[in-house]
A and B are shown apart, each in its own frame.
Chain A
Amino acid sequence: MTDNAINTPAQPRPLAAGLLWTGAALLLLVALPQVFPGRAAVSTLNYLGTMALFALSYNVLLGRTGLLSLGHATFFGLGGFIASHAVLAMADAGWSFPLPLIPAIGGAGAFALGIFGGWLASGRGGMPFAMITLGLAELVFAAAALFPSIYGSEEGIGIDRMDLGASFGLDYASAADIYAIVAVWLALCAAGLWFLAKTPLGLLMTAVRDNAERVEFLGFSARRIRMSAYAVAAGVAGVAGSLAALNFEIMTVHELGAGTSTLVLLMTYIGGTRHFLGPVLGAVVIGLMKLWLSDISPAWMMYFGLLFVFVVMAAPGGLAGILASGIGLARSGTLGAQAHLLGAIAAAGAIAFAGIVVLVELGYRAGLDAALGPDITVLGLGLNTQSAGSWALGTVLLLVGAAALRPLNARLADLRHSLAKTGETA
């Protein structure tokens, strides 16, 4: 039996389910601008689509190959600059090149640079890889200051996307036209990356993630596999960068800086690295949080950081992992038996979270935003940074919530254990 088990190919995904997923995704892409019309909303969709593609490319490294890159924005930025210069040069020369194909140029350029970068970085995985990518990213960022004619100075390189003229019946004046470009590229690249995961190379990437030594013993070069993953990720990041350049019509050095690299790491990891669409989920959630939360709280970056640390410590599957386990729970038929404990955990978590929010908001008002005065309304509560009661309230909420969580989690684990036992005997 064991021999057969090894030789049995993985269950092919039923064609119908695959078609259903593809259809749903395409329908969603088409429907979104109809549901959220208006220039600002479509602009937001463009940004989210770009970041979703960027995060998907990052997950080729982080989730698929198990490589932590700290300089992925390098290729996002370089792709964007290559695309910008392509637009400028072609507009200068008077060529009529279809604008929607510009990301192919940015992507190809980033792919070529990614091969070189991958050759430097991929000798070892794990931490050396992380540090080398960090060093390369800093090198490119620091060198960018030396070449103002390529990277622009402080104000960056601006383009006019209408310079290349109309093509495919669109003149690219409106955000909706750019949405069409973003959606098509997102769908194409996502399909390509999905397909890549099924190819022998994709499987080898997973194998390198799980046990690089073993892969070497099988006669493959782990270095070349890492390098391929790096180059593919760089190329797709270049496409995403080009889309960003077309959307914003400007590219600055900050796009290839450490901040952008951190953002894509946060998006991908919080979304979930072990599910194909996890990065997309993360990009959408973090992207929207970035847009909305930055309006209502000065502490939004702090919340990102805390959310990231929470996910790393408590939910390494990310949001997609949480969703998947929720769906698994609903299907298992034991949801009813666990509902009271899950409800209690949610309540305790909400209390602890409220405590954190109160403390963080008080902290920002007492420190950074002290000029705005001591009175602040958090979660509908009137608080004052100078009253000990306000600080005590936050601390008590946090401590009570955290103290309640611990025994509740233990009880949930016990309950699940006994449920699994009865499931086996039944």
Chain B
Amino acid sequence: MSIDVLAFSLLNGTLYGMLLFLLASGLTLIFSMMGVLNFAHASFFMLGAYLGFEFSQGLGFFPALILAPLCVGLIGAGVERFGLRRVHRFGHLGELLFTFGLAFVIEEAVQMIWGRSPQAYPVPAALDFTAFEIFGTGYPAFRLFMLAVSAAIFAGLALLLNRTRVGLIVRASLTHPEMVSMLGHNVPLVFMSVFGAGSALAALGGVIAGPILVTQPSMAAGLGPILFVIVVVGGLGSLGGAFAASLIVGFIQTFAVAIDFSVADAFGLIGVTAPPAALGALLRDVWNVSVSQVGPVIPYLLLVAMLIFRPMGLAGKRA
């Protein structure tokens, strides 16, 4: 791998990882609070992308950057207030199934409103230029902007949770909801706000990712499983673990695409150019597998490996 590919993969991997963390952080917060993994989280990401597309058509990209997360945050708060809270009496299974059904309905609704084909969601003109050149290849400013937004949100979230009174109440509600309630805080309101804020963060991710990833109805179903891999690998409920796992998965997926190397190439190095015919069709399949083809599989392999060797995840406390 040449040095320029390495540099770009590093940049893109960090960017993708930060974007994943934007979603995984909300998911992890909601999980630690309610004990429920929100299957509709990636759907809120998709809603963010579509609303961002719609608002940026009418009002421009930067108002959309504010408005779309705001709308999705309100939708998320409504979902918690009128949906999740009602199914809470049926236990965790009921809540899981509810978010699962919600994800299904949101995907159908997006197809109903915007159709099945991808939307032409362009990079905003103000950010459509080359930020810098390294090794003779330009790096788009919009990607740098995405990186800056993700990093700013990350820093803001860390400050909010660790350094403010609001963060104190949220963290206390995660571990000791009854006690916080005794102290006179409205814990259901805290839950609703965190759910809404998590949804808004996912939507923000959607608004900035929409122009780069394709804005289409399958984007939620494509990203959702990866998010769950991150949350499990990072350790359920751990923000730090989710951050590490986001970057790991981001790097894996970016580098796998960049590496053009197959099993056949590996054997070519030792002078074997064709698979031994005696070993059959299955080996011929393996022979042609390249690293970039394996890329989508690696996160799930990581998940399985993690479950076997360290079931509590990177930063989890207990199995």
Q: How far is the CA of A128 from the CA of B31 in the complex (A)?
A: 12
Given A302-B112, A363-B112, A367-B113, the answer on whether A149 and B281 have CB atoms closer than 8 Å is yes
- Of A134, A145, A316, which is within 8 A of B94 by CB? A316
Given A130-B96, A149-B285, A124 and B319 contact (CB-CB distance below 8 Å): yes
Partner-binding segment picked from B8-16, B186-194, B227-235:
B227-235
A120 x B285 contact (CB < 8 A): no
**Within A141-176, which residues are at the interface with B (CB < 8 Å)?**
142-143, 145-150
**Are A367 and B115 in contact, CB atoms less than 8 angstroms apart?**
yes
A132 CB → nearest B CB, Å: 6
- Spot the interface stretch: B70-78, B173-181, B289-297: B289-297
Among B109, B228, B296, B301, contact of A134 (Cβ-Cβ < 8 Å): B228
B239 to chain A, nearest CB (A): 18
Complex: A9 Cα to B222 Cα, angstroms: 50
User: What residue in chain A is nearest B308 (Cβ atoms)?
Assistant: A120
Q: Which residues of B (224-269) have their CB < 8 Å from a CB of A?
A: 225, 228-229, 231-232, 236
**B169 located at the interface, meaning its Cβ lies under 8 Å from any Cβ of chain A in the complex:** no
Known: A123-B307, A128-B236. A368 touches B297 (CB 8 A): no
Contact of A150 (CB < 8 Å), options: B104, B282, B308: B282
* Minimum Cβ distance to chain A for residue B6 (Å): 25
B93→A136 contact, CB < 8 A: no
* B112–A127 CB distance below 8 A: no
* A142 adjacent to B104 (CB under 8 Å): no
CA gap between A398 and B92 in the complex, in Å: 29
Which bucket holds chain B's interface residue count?
35 or more
Report how far A128 CA is from B37 CA in the complex, Å: 9
B116 within 8 A of A: yes
A179 near B: Cβ within 8 Å?
A: no
With a cutoff of 8 Å between Cβ atoms, the chain B residues found around residue A147 in the complex are 282, 285-286
B93-A146 in contact (CB<8A): no
Residues 234-265 of A contacting B (Cβ, < 8 Å): 258, 262, 265
Is residue A306 within 8 Å, beta carbon to beta carbon, of the partner chain?
yes
CB neighbors of A among B201-243 (8 A) = 221, 225, 228-229, 231-232, 236
Chain A neighbourhood of B284, CB < 8 A: 149
| A144 to chain B: closest residue by CB | B297
Q: Is the CB of A120 within 8 A of B98?
A: no
Contact A132 B96 (CB under 8 A): no
Chain A residue numbers with a CB within 8 Å of B225 are: 134-135, 138, 258
Known pairs A135-B303, A299-B108 / 10 extra A-B pairs, C-beta < 8 Å: A127-B37, A130-B37, A131-B37, A135-B229, A136-B304, A149-B285, A265-B100, A312-B101, A313-B83, A363-B113
What are some 17 contacts across the A-B interface (CB < 8 A)?
A123-B319, A127-B96, A132-B307, A135-B228, A138-B300, A139-B301, A262-B104, A299-B112, A301-B108, A305-B104, A305-B105, A308-B101, A309-B101, A309-B105, A360-B112, A363-B109, A368-B111
